[in-house]
Amino acid sequence: MTICYFGIYDPDYSRNRELISGLGENKVKVIECRVDPAERFKYWKLFKKHQAIGQYDIMVIGFPGHPVVPLAKLICRKPIVFDALVSLYDSNIFDRKSASPRSLEALKCWFLDWLACKMADRVLLDAQEHINYFVKTFRIKKDKFRRILVGTNQNIFYPRENRKTTDKFLLLFQGTYIPLQGVEYMIRAAKLLENDNVQLDIIGKIKTYGPAIELAQKLKADNVKFIDFMPQTELAERMAEADVCLGFFGDTPKAKRCGAFKVTEALAMKKAMLTADTPAMREFLVDRQDCLFCQGADAEDLAEKIMELKNNPELRNRIAENGYKVYQEKLTPQTLGRELKSALEELI
């Protein structure tokens, strides 16, 4: 089987990299046909590149690719698989609240989601809960969707010795400051635990953390440390020092139905994972078996669960070990590539 991986996607973005790698590990030939999204006349250049690549069996449109699907439909005579991963409408309008639900921007996002899904022969999402949302919101038949969980780069994120340089119980969060992440609740929980020898490290692009930094300063949460964005290799080293890795704790609708790379990365490193209890997380994780759940948007419950992990090393070690088994069984590039290959074979 030969796949044309098509679009304006970033080949180093985890979702694209792991699926392409996973297909290769399952003996699928992948021909990449892409241009940088910042290029001028990118769709014309993409069209010209496609003309030169030769024969293939199926086209997969990498993430992000919503506006690419109409072009693919025009130039491709093979089945088209669209890796949607997220809804533009949900992410921009309801999660990030970048425009009113009654605005033209909201209509545009809804239309792009609907059109891309309607034109594709298969649509990939990261959770069954996400599929249910797409079916209900965009009125697309359920049998068009396939769930492919999110993976990570196992050459970077893997178990290693903990060389912690602090005597504090170290929590680590890495990600962005958007409502889904619930950074506010992490900071408030850390403040509650300031006398319990707990430290929270938050890693991400500092310029996006203005409101969070202001909150930490207002609360005088001196046990919260903000660290600027770093390459994944350095991030993995910092994660290795943590006692517990934190997932996301927002209470937005999107938070309840999506996966998270940070969760997969922690599992791959055999770290104890603490995250909000959501339907999407329960699709592949079991509370107190391979992770610990808490209530979303609840700093007090989060603080309580942090202390439980701090005071119960047996629980902490057990969920770390079992979480790593979940990664090995369900989330490696090879496993995800095999699932994607199966979804592609349905179309041939």
Model pTM? Answer: 0.94
pLDDT (average), residues 328-336: 97
Identify the structural domains of the chain with CATH numbers, from first to last: 2-151+333-345 (3.40.50.2000), 169-331 (3.40.50.2000)
Band (229; pLDDT cuts 50, 70, 90): very high
pLDDT (average), residues 305-312: 98
The whole-number pLDDT of residue 52 equals 95
The whole-number pLDDT of residue 246 equals 98
Band (163; pLDDT cuts 50, 70, 90): confident
The whole-number pLDDT of residue 200 equals 98
The whole-number pLDDT of residue 162 equals 83
Whether a cis peptide bond, with omega within 30° of 0, leads into 64 is: yes
Q: How much is the mean pLDDT over the chain?
A: 96
The whole-number pLDDT of residue 252 equals 86
The whole-number pLDDT of residue 282 equals 96
User: Cα dihedral angle (22, 23, 29, 32), rounded to 10 degrees?
Assistant: -80
| Structure-token pair, residue 209 | 């953390």
Q: Using alpha carbons, select from 286, 219, 282, 276 the residue that is nearest to residue 246.
A: 276
| Structure-token pair, residue 182 | 């619930």
The whole-number pLDDT of residue 148 equals 97
The whole-number pLDDT of residue 217 equals 97
Q: Which residue has the higher pLDDT, 256 or 199?
A: 199
Q: Which residue has the higher pLDDT, 110 or 258?
A: 110
- For residue 131, pLDDT beyond 90: yes
Band (99; pLDDT cuts 50, 70, 90): very high
The whole-number pLDDT of residue 208 equals 87
Q: What tens digit of pLDDT does each residue of 253-301 get?
A: 888 998 889 999 999 999 999 999 999 999 999 999 999 999 999 999 9
pLDDT (average), residues 294-309: 97
- For residue 170, pLDDT beyond 90: yes
Q: What tens digit of pLDDT does each residue of 55-95 get?
A: 999 999 999 999 999 999 999 999 999 999 999 999 999 98
Band (251; pLDDT cuts 50, 70, 90): confident
The whole-number pLDDT of residue 95 equals 87
The whole-number pLDDT of residue 180 equals 87
- For residue 249, pLDDT beyond 90: yes
